[in-house]
Amino acid sequence: MKKVLITGTAGFIGFHLAKLLLDEGFKVHGYDGMTDYYDVSLKQERNKILLENSNFTSTVGMLEDNEKLDDVANKFQPDVIVHLAAQAGVRYSLENPRTYINSNIVGTFNVMEVARKQKVKHLLMASTSSVYGANSKMPFTEIEKADTQLTIYAATKKANESLAHSYSHLWKIPTTMFRFFTVYGPWGRPDMALFKFTKAILEEKPIDVFNHGKHTRDFTYIDDIVGGVLKTLDQPASINFDWNGNQPDPATSNAPWRIYNIGNSKPVQLMDYINALEKSLGKKAKINFLPLQPGDVADTYADVNNLQKKFNYKPSTTIVDGVSNFIEWYKSYYKV
């Protein structure tokens, strides 16, 4: 039985990945800070569900606490580490940038130190589509440079990619980075659009729609996200022996380090997303159209050809089904 240490198991993606791995027979230890960035009771409920499986154990701890993280890893001795914990939120990074440095830079450094000391077989880490920043050529592909991040959050994630590469190069740690595209679904984060829109529509309050609703987003259902991670788990990143420093491929390296987009690869107009939500709820939204917010990008669109070729990755959940599944969960959880 493989032992997998996952950071952020009380979070949205971490919870779903831990649940999937437990169903697949893995032994999982979760490490989560249970911070109050959003409703802690939601995080506690996720953790409670995971603890129903005897192959799951967990520790409450901050990524910045390197001694506790070291102690957990020494006792659990993971074969694989999946690092998902981070201070999330693009807009929150405008208000509290230091939180992102502490969690996403210092915390990630601590995780990579653990991976080095434990000599793990594979380190997998969450990045984000936000690293594409000011890039406008669609779809976003990993082989294009991404050096113009527009928020502190995105900058910390790009820094993580670079830091991970240096560790992979120096200590030959197989490292796979995932650029996630707009994840949604049951047990989602309350600070994300689908959650906020649903709550407001049910309460007959207006929803704030930025860029006057002209966004397109590569909305990706949570099962398609964690399914992609699972496909790569047992296949550690490898060296690209054709890599050429004169014409460097930003997605691969002469170290065992890789970057993959994980997205639906079918961008949706934000207003179509809202229409799907309205149909599922059976209620019309009251919309407050607003300008583009600082740090926001107008469009996202994932090229997932690399993941498809290497791992036969095929996202399959439609927006209609995904939104409907979320609404079903939301009404059940909040007893609407």
Write out the catalytic residue numbers: 153
The answer to whether 223 and 16 have CB atoms below 8 angstroms apart is: yes
Rounded to the nearest 5 degrees, what angle is found at the Cα of 69, between the Cα atoms of 65 and 72?
145
Taking the C-alpha atoms of residue 132 and residue 80, their distance in angstroms, rounded to an integer, is 28
- Alpha-carbon torsion 88, 94, 99, 101, what sign? positive
If you compute the radius of gyration of the chain from its CA atoms, what whole number of angstroms results?
A: 19
Rounded to the nearest 10 degrees, the angle between the axes of helix 270-281 and helix 193-202 is 40
Residues whose CB falls within 8 Å of the CB of residue 73, separated by 6 or more in sequence, listed in order:
5, 114, 117, 118
End-to-end CA distance of the chain: 41
Phi, psi of 96 (to 5 degrees): -135, 65
